[in-house]
Structure 1
């Protein structure tokens, strides 16, 4: 990709006041076989980087300062030792490249070289297949907890509700940053952009209701781990948590909205498969599952926490009731499975599947601002109905 075009991509993203311009990755190439593979990435400035390893499955993690990736998708198409390559923002001014390997792999050589024309730098990574013992030693020696580098972030401090007694709602736009989510079958639109656009509409709609204060867990294209999303809701003393998604299915004829609540046993195979995919969000970003707090890891054992679960089910039923006859719903629109993002033990939570990007009709609606506003309005009605019932019952 020409540097001028890549610079335009960065400019289009916009920067907040005082933010330094991110690094620009404007070119890449990969070559090799199942024994050795070389990855080369071209930057406009000299990049700082660090390399880590994650097991089960094997991944090589390359952490970078905040970077805009103006790359052609085919330039880093997986090959050789790697069967998947993802890159993107990790929030907190950091970015990451995740190289998913076919087996134990080591980066045996890594260096930054100036381009011959003096107009940039290239990061060169040489990876080799190694045996399990060598890979286990790499894991043991790295002393890495799975977090991104410690960098300054402009995320605002947690604040209490502006109005005492306000009913606080966390609206969580699914995916973000390095985790793109599903991809539209026609437009190739990424789910993370669809969910954020809807979440912003929903927050605006909810904040029109007296006594309600709604906020976004993320307000831009950044990565948040699943435990982080739960933690943000709890720190803001949220009374409700609504996570917004738009998945894809192999069956392209299936369409319509679905509302999910948490359960240790899935209601059906579709719910189980969706939960399994959504729960991979942190793995996609290169975060080891063992790095999450124990209280989060075993939360499905004690589901609430039963009172919270009952409130979640009541909210789901209110949403389905509000949607019926107004927007298309999937068959059996209230389903349940073990979604990690719905794990707050004290916050009633639902995951709203707006529709399926794999269906061309759903995809068209998901990209329609007027449709999003209609659905946001119906959801606000459902939330207000739920709020009135919960307040009356002392919830």
Structure 2
């Protein structure tokens, strides 16, 4: 060995130091010590599907396969190294998750990071990359659905796992020939898509879910009405799936609930919107529609979903549906005015993707501006949430009387 001979200060020793310095300079770092890493991971469990998300500054390259006995999903990611967030990933798994029992992460070899997801049941996997958007970097998304038939796409799986409300409502079909009055309640955003947020970090997705749950309880108490929700917990639902669910349930009307934010912290008040097929009624309405339509980009929709996102519903929109949407919107706006100042005194229109059911009158309710400090405070209170739910219910009842009775 070069360093075994010679004393300190000898020519041999000095030569050894020089060679060592060169080696340190020119030798590449050990495999796994460098390279991209995941900066965040998230697990979103729900009764319909579970989403696992890996976020990084670099687009990951991956492969995956399934193993049996025990049942596991294995994901191999090229050139990524272990990071602190990965060691904590298994801690994010909820014991009530219907699909995942445990997640393990380790280096399989010098160039491969391996993620092993231990599964509770057979699953259909939908794995895809998402480009940076909003506050998110590159994301590797893993969606786990119950395995019904291998040829089913995410939309079919989503609808197949949505219980129908029509059976319990059979008594509501009187008078003869009338279908039950079903309200599809759509709490905006969810899961990876938080929606807007206030100065106190209140998230739109949480507030609107709470209002929606209150509204559902009120509607279900009515003798001739029932409600279904596009989501009942904190998970992401693509816009087209929300529309498809309303059609599957044969909803009478569709009510999407939101709490918007704008740069102007002085903006306040409630608003109601319907679909426009000919542009927006104002620049503000157009801006709002564009921001809401970005939900699919933020929440994350895989390419396998393009078939149902490339919809021609707009072309099929019926004049009567738009007319009824305006009546419903006016009835709800009138009631909201009793509990909060209005941002606009009339129902506005814009190209909201979530309002495009061709045969279901649909409205989008902005309950208040979460970006306004006082309205953010109110939105968090049970009192205001209940007031909003009651106002929407009374508006729906007014529409129902005018349109059907």
TM-score band, normalised by shorter chain: 0.5 to 0.7
| 8 Å contact kept, 1:90–1:223 | no
1:326 Cα offset (Å):
3.2
| 8 Å contact kept, 1:96–1:178 | no
Change (3 A) 1:126 1:213: farther
Change (3 A) 1:248 1:390: same
Match of 1:158 among 154, 164, 170: 164
**Is residue 52 of structure 2 the alignment partner of residue 96 of structure 1?**
yes
Match of 2:336 among 316, 323, 344: 323
| 8 Å contact kept, 2:49–2:146 | yes
Aligned to 2:143: 148
**Is residue 36 of structure 2 the alignment partner of residue 38 of structure 1?**
yes
Change (3 A) 1:100 1:259: farther
1:300 Cα offset (Å):
2.4
| Structure 1 gap ranges (5+) | 1-35, 41-74, 77-85, 128-137, 140-145
Provide the rounded CA distance (Å) in 1 between the counterparts of 2:228 and 2:390: 16
| 8 Å contact kept, 2:37–2:80 | no
Change (3 A) 1:298 1:166: closer
Match of 1:300 among 314, 324, 330: 314
1:358 Cα offset (Å):
0.7
Cα deviation, 1:130-162, whole Å, max 9, x if unaligned, reads xxxxxxxx99xxxxxx99344359945334151
Secondary structure at the aligned position of 2:199 is classed as coil
Change (3 A) 1:294 1:173: closer
Provide the rounded CA distance (Å) in 1 between the counterparts of 2:356 and 2:303: 15
Higher strand share: 1
Provide the rounded CA distance (Å) in 2 between the counterparts of 1:280 and 1:268: 19
| Structure 2 gap ranges (5+) | 1-33, 63-77, 92-102, 113-127, 130-140, 148-157, 174-178
1:308 Cα offset (Å):
0.6
**Is residue 184 of structure 2 the alignment partner of residue 170 of structure 1?**
yes
Change (3 A) 1:106 1:293: closer
Aligned residues: 292
Provide the rounded CA distance (Å) in 1 between the counterparts of 2:142 and 2:320: 33
> What TM-score results when the alignment is normalised by the length of structure 2?
0.64
Question: Which structure has the greater CA radius of gyration?
Answer: 2
Aligned to 1:181: 195
1:208 Cα offset (Å):
2.4
Provide the rounded CA distance (Å) in 2 between the counterparts of 1:270 and 1:90: 35
Match of 2:358 among 334, 337, 345: 345
1:253 Cα offset (Å):
0.3
Aligned to 1:263: 276
Provide the rounded CA distance (Å) in 2 between the counterparts of 1:340 and 1:126: 43
Two-structure CA RMSD over aligned residues (Å): 3.3
Provide the rounded CA distance (Å) in 2 between the counterparts of 1:126 and 1:97: 21
Change (3 A) 1:98 1:181: farther
1:364 Cα offset (Å):
0.9
> What TM-score results when the alignment is normalised by the length of structure 1?
0.65
1:88 Cα offset (Å):
4.9
Aligned to 1:273: 287
Secondary structure at the aligned position of 2:44 is classed as strand
Cα deviation, 1:57-82, whole Å, max 9, x if unaligned, reads xxxxxxxxxxxxxxxxxx64xxxxxx
| 8 Å contact kept, 1:88–1:179 | no
Provide the rounded CA distance (Å) in 2 between the counterparts of 1:391 and 1:312: 14
| 8 Å contact kept, 1:171–1:215 | yes
Provide the rounded CA distance (Å) in 1 between the counterparts of 2:54 and 2:243: 24
Change (3 A) 1:238 1:126: farther
Aligned to 1:381: 394
Match of 1:191 among 198, 204, 207: 204
Cα deviation, 1:193-215, whole Å, max 9, x if unaligned, reads 10110001111112222311112
